[in-house]
Structure 1
Amino acid sequence: MATPGTLPLHRSKPLKAEVIHCFHCGETCTGQIEFDNYAFCCDGCQFVYKLLKDNDLCNYYDLSNTPGIKVKGNYAAEKFAYLDNQEVQQKLVRFTDGKQSHVSLSLPQMHCASCVWLLENLHVLQQGIIYSKVNFNNKEIVVAFELELTSLRKVIELLSYVGYEPYISLNDSEKKRPKSISRQQFYKIGVAGFCFSNIMMLSFPEYFSSGDIQQAFLKHLFTYLNLFLSLPVFFYSASDFFISACKGLKQKWLNIDAPIALSILITFSRSVYEVVSGTGAGYFDSMSGIVLFMLVGRWFQNKTYDAFSFDRDYKSYFPLGVTRIKEQREECIPINALEKGDRILVRSNEMIPADAIVINGEGNIDYSFVSGENLPVLKRPGELIYAGAKQLSGRIELEVVKPVSQSYITQLWNNNDIFREQKNKDKSFVHPWSRYFTAILFSITAIASVYWYVVDAHKVFYALTAALIVACPCSLLLSSSFTFGNMLRHFGKSKLYLKNASVIEALARINTVVFDKTGTLTFSAKAQIDFEGKPLSDEECSLLYSVVSQSVHPLSRLLTDYLLHQHPVQALTISQFAEKAGQGMEALVNETPIRVGSFAFVKGFRKERSTSATEVWIAIDSSVRGCFFIRNQYRNGVNEMVQKLEERSYDLHVLSGDNSAEKEALQQFFGQQIPLLFHQTPQDKLEYIKHLQQTSATKRVLMLGDGLNDAGSLQQSDVGIAVAENTSQFTPACDAILDSSKVGMLDAFLQYARSGKRVVSISFTLSILYNIVGLSFALQAKLSPMVAAILMPLSSITIVTFVTIATSIAARRNGVQ
């Protein structure tokens, strides 16, 4: 950890210098303050420096030349007093469970890597802050803090003191603040355009006279006017290229702007030399043209990116339904149709889809997905439950109090380090190729420059500048990012919702597929059900209905629907509900013990039984009453999907927590040679997948499960896909969510993923060919720098257009659209 005594000497200015800059923010000091042999422009900047020094965080100043934000004075103690108000806190806080709170804030002052570093180290500056995560693109920060040790007010005061006062608007707290459009890009294009056009106009005499202007006074006047007009282009319009290149060099990396900045610098320096020495008129027209066309190209390129961008909001990941209670009737509706004031029903192990108040029942709420706290929280009628929580036992009725906040759940799914192990963290296969592109470019350009200096020194300038500009490493990186970005959109349209783009490459490497049976290959809501045993009375059916309706397990949902339509049942008071994954459930209903589940769970011992159906046994008041025989119906397209996977040499396996009643039916789909394992517990499934991965280093396993009993195996697999039907069941262990109606398209999804890799390879090859052709002309001094400046952004736009069209065609061919 750096200390003030070890800071680089270039960070401070001698206090006796004529112009003294603030050590923290870099602004000119007027009436500076001296501390630790450094100068500060105000008390605020000095305070932040002392704060960082006291917490051993002074290496913040090593990350950028002037990383700090100017702190405009000390903040009054009561400036943020309004944040102590409970109503205000409710509008700003996105989650709280009484122990910790999460808040998302907009920080428009964020500008560089040192800002990110400091803001993600807030926990060092203030006790009670658990973590802080920065979204640099959106200039936002999410802060989690413990309520016993700090408060929302103290967190925001800390941010303000260090120079990042949040943008807070309470007038429209539920709407996103519109992003402010930076006009600097347009100003720079305008300045470059004005100067370029006038330089061209003043250069016409030079063009038409072939450099031989008879009036010496006019020749010098036009030349120096061009030099004067080139200054704002060089120092203002082109500044972003130099800043970006310098930041890359500080990180010991040659980024995309390094060759462009070098080309502009060489062109300008050469032109100034010719003008001052009187040996020529310079190349100010080329220099200003390079800057103008590069800026316009970047702007148009960004507009193209926006047109093809894929905004993954909550509807992208959660096409799932929620049970709404309307006019005493239960109905399944899509989550995006949920509105404030709606009453919803949440069962055991379902996720709360929106902030809601408990109306009936008691919630045993698991907030671990949101806060990391594993201890369940008891919620009684009248209490608020936040979106993203999970109901652990029983069913509860809720009233929605805020619009669906799935966007926050999506953020948690992607960014919560508590649950996310680094799966699919390998970089795209194109990265090793593109990594050293700029270094290779500099080497080739240097060799060409030496060659032309020996052969024809006059052509050195043209060859050097054109080569530095025309080469485009960005198109190499765009090959993968835009290919996979557009593929995410097509996957989403076919109701496969991927966690991120890296899952696509993981899908392309899959060679082994493991299927869960119940709720995955079979319908969750369709089955033939028969009961064997002592006939059940209507009262006993109501007791049984009250228990099975608490669960979201596919078999429980089937029994719930069966009892509801076959008997006049009603929900009764239930307590001590407990569900054991892969075994069954038990509860007290009107003080009567009810047990529902497997033979071993209900009877207390295991016994092999040969039946042609799945069995669900029931015991009422400790007396075994009989068994429901459930014969599954397989989803449409499963047979064809399995055949295509076998034709393409995928290694297939089936794991089921049920008995072997469906063995013959499964063998009709999969054949006699495919491994079919039954009575598999969640741990058995996880261990089986781990064993497959350990048998061969080339094994890439995809697990397709219903997300209920398969969380461990979904996490263990290389790609875990949770199949979802009319439920808000969700697990962060999965890499994708697949609508149950699209299970039969699994082979098409895998083929589309593989075609994506081919598209990336083709576009990558095109990009390499473009660079080879462009460099061949540039190094021969046959390409002017201005034309090169037009071609560079054009190549990026071409690549984006190609991959978009190619992935759309591939989607159509594979039926993924």
Structure 2
Amino acid sequence: MVESTCFHCGNDCDKNSINYDQKTFCCNGCKTVYDIFSNHDLSCYYDLQSAPGAIPKEIEGKYDYLDTPAIAEKLIEFDDDNTQIITLYIPHIHCSSCIWILENLHKLQPEISVSQVNFPKKTVRITFNNKSISLKEVVSLLSTIGYEPYISLEDYSTGAQQINRSLIYKLGIAGFAFGNVMFLSFPEYFEVSEFWLERYKHTFRWLMFAFSIPVVFYAAQEYFISAYKGLRSRILNIDIPIALGILALFMRSTIEIIFDWGTGFFDSLTGLVFFLLLGKFFQQRTYSFLSFERDYKSYFPIAVTRISKDNKKEKSIQVYDIKKGDRLLIRNRELIPVDCILIKGDAQIDYSFVTGEREPVVKQSGDKLFAGGKQMNAAIEIEAIKSVEQSYLTQLWSNDIFTSKASVSFTNLTDTISKYFTIVILSIAILATTFWIIVDATKAIHVFTAVLIIACPCALALARPFALGNILRIFGKHKFYLKNTDVIEQLAQIDSIIFDKTGTITTATSGAIQYHGMPLTPEEESLLKNTLRASNHPLSRKLYAILDQYDIMTLDDYQEYLGKGISGTLDQDHIKIGSSDFVGGTTITEKLNTSVHISANNTYKGHYSFHNQYRNGVQSIFEALSKDYELTILSGDNDGEKEYLTKFLPEETTLLFNQKPNNKLNYIKSLQQKNQKVVMVGDGLNDAGALKQSNVGIAISENVNVFSPACDAILDASKFDQISTYLTVSKNGIRIIKSSFVLSFIYNIIGLFFAVTGQLSPIIAAILMPLSSISVVLYVTLLTNISCKKISKST
């Protein structure tokens, strides 16, 4: 940094500059922020990027309104006991230093436990202890260090997205200027000597200069800002060659009219910026359309049980059908989909999905519960106090707490190519310009600008997000819901598929059930029914559905033992449901079917035998998958159905029974150690560990609330027989992207040939560039639509 430049914010210092710690600051505010960072061992903030900060604003009394509970409640996402969470929009976020300091707020203020930055959206999500620090103090801290948040209560209350009209304004100005400059250039184009008199020539040229000024310094400013930030961070981003081209055209044109060498290239300049912005506007509108469908139409297949007002009938509904005032049943390990009031039952809520804290919070009747909590005890009844915000569940699903994968991460093809693209293009532009300076200097500027424009990597950068975004949207329409587009790329790389059995390849909605053993008394069967009511296991749901109706009772105690069974207590009566070892029964001779054993008050009563009904198309789907993948079934049940499964599944299928959750997880680890890419398909309950360990975890949804952040995808059970098709479409999607890369390279090679040889004017290059972007978008969208027709035909 030079002596007259502020060490913190990079602004020029005037005569009142402040020298402190052998550094120069433009004001006391910047000096104070530097002092704060230094005292809290955060001075490496300046190592990531020079002068990354902003001048802190005067905030005395500015945020007093945040002490008003009614206003703060509209801003706070989560508020329970000692923890509050808020997401704030920070306009100043612009570089890696910003991310680093905002994600280390806990060092400045220990009462802030977590702060996560969403760089594309310029937001930070802050979790803090509201007993020790207020929302006002959190916002004031951000403002003090130069990251003043933009707060709009209207935005928070409506949830509507702000439409950025800046691009529309810039496009309008560039189009207006382009049209007028072209009009003023007509006499020169057609060499109309009768009109183009000496007294009008200079007037017209300076008018063209005037029209170009707002185009360069306003409409094209983002390209210069992006290029400057990239150079300051020592990163060659894709906007550097564009900014150089615009600057070269403007400088050359200005020099020409000053010295009366010619009319300049203002038509090419304004046309270039106009078509650049037109291409950006097109891609923004198209991608916003895809995002809209993905955010609001591709709902997760999460259902919840609604209780009728007479408290007698229970009905499963989709979460987005929940209305204010609805009474809902939340079973053990179900996610609470809406903010609500606890009506009945004792709640132990795990808010780790929201806060990262895994210690359950005990709640009593009348307490407020927040969306995202997970009930860890017996079934409870709640009353919704607002409708569901599906986008909030999306945020929970994408929470960084659950994104860590044990498997090795991958780098997509676009990221790999973009590292070298700018270096190659700049090298070609410099070499070609140098050649023409020697051969014919009049063509040098044309060649330089044409190379930079024609080789713009927009088409290359658009292929992957549009292709995978379109596939993501179509998958959602066909009830296969993916966390993000990276999952598609990972699905295309897999070579091993592992299936759970119960609730995955078997259906939880059909199949005969028989009871063997001592008859249950009405009291025991009532306790059994109410204990099963709290469980979400597929066998529990099937057994619950066939038992007689009994009065709904609140259990005194309910426990679920992962991979073993469940237990319930009411008054002095106790019941256990699960495996033979769990309930204390003897080994039975019948092993042909899945069995659930019952004991009441420590007395073994008998077992229910389930004649499993396998899903439609299991045999055909396994045969189709066996051609390309290594298949395995990992079941927690006994091997009673091994002989039956062996008959209709491919010979190469590995069958493993009596597998506990840890056994499944370790088996996946063993495959990954052999460099295999693994997909785990489970029911989302006992398989959470295996789903998270796998490269891609797919949870099967059977119209119950089994939402699990451990999974990467949710598949509606009715679409189970489409797994092979989804995998094929994922592979085709990657092939389409690669083929579009080839087309982009061919386009660039041809365009560069004409540009380097001086046969391509900048204005033609500027027109061709957005056309190439549009053609790539149409190409990948059309081919992905054709590829996805396989889903429609087979559905």
- Tell me the secondary structure at the aligned position of residue 274 of structure 2: helix
Change (3 A) 1:170 1:778: closer
Question: Per-residue displacement from partner, 1:698-756 (whole Å, max 9, x unpaired)?
Answer: x2211111011111111121111111112212222211111111111111111111111
8 Å contact from structure 1 (residues 656, 679) kept in 2: yes
**Structure 1 residue 35, shift from structure 2 partner:** 5.8
303, 319, 324: which one aligns with 2:285:
303
Distance in 2 (alpha carbons) for counterparts of 1:502 and 1:313: 16
| Equivalent residue letter for 1:9 | V
Change (3 A) 1:24 1:86: same
**Structure 1 residue 561, shift from structure 2 partner:** 0.8
Structure 2 residue aligned with 1:55: 40
Change (3 A) 1:209 1:47: same
Structure 2 residue aligned with 1:538: 522
Asked if 1:782 corresponds to 2:759, the answer is yes
TM-score (norm 2): 0.92
Structure 2 alignment gaps of length 5 or more: none
8 Å contact from structure 1 (residues 25, 66) kept in 2: yes
- Tell me the secondary structure at the aligned position of residue 526 of structure 1: coil
Structure 2 residue aligned with 1:9: 2
Structure 2 residue aligned with 1:247: 229
8 Å contact from structure 2 (residues 402, 710) kept in 1: no
| Equivalent residue letter for 2:58 | G
Structure 2 residue aligned with 1:625: 605
570, 584, 594: which one aligns with 2:551:
570
Structure 2 residue aligned with 1:91: 74
- Tell me the secondary structure at the aligned position of residue 461 of structure 2: helix
**Structure 1 residue 381, shift from structure 2 partner:** 0.6
Distance in 2 (alpha carbons) for counterparts of 1:41 and 1:180: 35
Deviates more, 1:715-724 or 1:413-422: 413-422
Change (3 A) 1:651 1:239: same
Distance in 2 (alpha carbons) for counterparts of 1:467 and 1:172: 44
678, 683, 696: which one aligns with 1:706:
683
8 Å contact from structure 1 (residues 321, 335) kept in 2: yes
- Tell me the secondary structure at the aligned position of residue 750 of structure 2: helix
Distance in 2 (alpha carbons) for counterparts of 1:83 and 1:204: 60
8 Å contact from structure 2 (residues 350, 359) kept in 1: yes
Structure 2 residue aligned with 1:667: 646
Aligned CA-pair RMSD: 2.9
8 Å contact from structure 1 (residues 317, 498) kept in 2: no
| Equivalent residue letter for 2:636 | G
Distance in 1 (alpha carbons) for counterparts of 2:49 and 2:192: 47
8 Å contact from structure 1 (residues 22, 29) kept in 2: no
8 Å contact from structure 1 (residues 425, 502) kept in 2: no
655, 676, 689: which one aligns with 2:634:
655
**Structure 1 residue 374, shift from structure 2 partner:** 2.0
* Alignment map for 1:183-198 (pairs within 5 Å): 183=166, 185-198=167-180
11, 15, 19: which one aligns with 1:26:
11
Structure 2 residue aligned with 1:458: 442
Change (3 A) 1:436 1:25: closer
245, 251, 255: which one aligns with 1:269:
251
Distance in 2 (alpha carbons) for counterparts of 1:626 and 1:361: 29
**Structure 1 residue 159, shift from structure 2 partner:** 2.4
Distance in 1 (alpha carbons) for counterparts of 2:703 and 2:51: 54
Asked if 1:551 corresponds to 2:535, the answer is yes
Asked if 1:238 corresponds to 2:215, the answer is no
Structure 2 residue aligned with 1:18: none
8 Å contact from structure 1 (residues 128, 148) kept in 2: no
* Alignment map for 1:49-448 (pairs within 5 Å): 49-58=34-43, 60=45, 67-76=52-61, 79-108=62-91, 110=93, 114-169=97-152, 173-179=156-162, 181-183=164-166, 185-209=167-191, 216=198, 218-310=200-292, 312-313=294-295, 316=298, 318-326=300-308, 327-328=310-311, 329-417=313-401, 420-421=404-405, 425-448=409-432
Deviates more, 1:763-772 or 1:237-246: 237-246
**Structure 1 residue 227, shift from structure 2 partner:** 4.0
8 Å contact from structure 1 (residues 30, 41) kept in 2: no
Change (3 A) 1:25 1:403: farther
Question: Per-residue displacement from partner, 1:484-521 (whole Å, max 9, x unpaired)?
Answer: 11111111111111111111111111221111110001
Question: Per-residue displacement from partner, 1:34-69 (whole Å, max 9, x unpaired)?
Answer: 766777666555544443344344555566676444
Distance in 2 (alpha carbons) for counterparts of 1:512 and 1:23: 52
Distance in 2 (alpha carbons) for counterparts of 1:260 and 1:212: 38
**Structure 1 residue 571, shift from structure 2 partner:** 3.3
Percent of pairs identical after alignment? Answer: 45
Structure 1 residue aligned with 2:715: 738
8 Å contact from structure 2 (residues 356, 401) kept in 1: no
Distance in 2 (alpha carbons) for counterparts of 1:160 and 1:214: 58
Change (3 A) 1:265 1:90: closer
Asked if 1:679 corresponds to 2:658, the answer is yes
473, 477, 486: which one aligns with 1:489:
473
Question: Per-residue displacement from partner, 1:145-198 (whole Å, max 9, x unpaired)?
Answer: 123432222112222333444444557854225515343x34444444444444
- Tell me the secondary structure at the aligned position of residue 543 of structure 1: helix
8 Å contact from structure 1 (residues 206, 212) kept in 2: no
8 Å contact from structure 2 (residues 241, 422) kept in 1: yes
Deviates more, 1:759-768 or 1:217-226: 217-226
**Structure 1 residue 300, shift from structure 2 partner:** 3.0
Change (3 A) 1:249 1:747: same
Change (3 A) 1:244 1:609: same
**Structure 1 residue 424, shift from structure 2 partner:** 6.7
- Tell me the secondary structure at the aligned position of residue 525 of structure 1: coil
Deviates more, 1:261-270 or 1:223-232: 223-232
Change (3 A) 1:254 1:662: same
**Structure 1 residue 660, shift from structure 2 partner:** 1.9
Structure 1 residue aligned with 2:564: 583
Structure 2 residue aligned with 1:5: none
Distance in 1 (alpha carbons) for counterparts of 2:171 and 2:294: 32
Structure 1 alignment gaps of length 5 or more: 1-7, 14-20
Question: Per-residue displacement from partner, 1:576-624 (whole Å, max 9, x unpaired)?
Answer: 321112211122223112111111112267x474422111111111111
Distance in 2 (alpha carbons) for counterparts of 1:207 and 1:170: 55
Asked if 1:645 corresponds to 2:628, the answer is no
Distance in 2 (alpha carbons) for counterparts of 1:197 and 1:800: 27
Change (3 A) 1:258 1:63: same
Distance in 1 (alpha carbons) for counterparts of 2:76 and 2:774: 41
| Equivalent residue letter for 2:694 | S
8 Å contact from structure 1 (residues 358, 384) kept in 2: yes
Structure 1 residue aligned with 2:574: 593
Distance in 2 (alpha carbons) for counterparts of 1:592 and 1:557: 22
Distance in 2 (alpha carbons) for counterparts of 1:213 and 1:462: 28
TM-score (norm 1): 0.90
| Equivalent residue letter for 2:711 | C
- Tell me the secondary structure at the aligned position of residue 410 of structure 1: helix
**Structure 1 residue 96, shift from structure 2 partner:** 3.0
| Equivalent residue letter for 1:263 | G
**Structure 1 residue 219, shift from structure 2 partner:** 4.3
- Tell me the secondary structure at the aligned position of residue 520 of structure 2: coil
Change (3 A) 1:401 1:254: same
Distance in 1 (alpha carbons) for counterparts of 2:171 and 2:501: 60
| Equivalent residue letter for 1:655 | L
| Equivalent residue letter for 1:347 | R
Change (3 A) 1:22 1:219: farther
Between the two proteins, the alignment pairs up a number of residues equal to: 792
**Structure 1 residue 74, shift from structure 2 partner:** 3.9
Distance in 2 (alpha carbons) for counterparts of 1:307 and 1:410: 18
| Equivalent residue letter for 1:146 | N
Asked if 1:751 corresponds to 2:728, the answer is yes
- Tell me the secondary structure at the aligned position of residue 372 of structure 2: coil
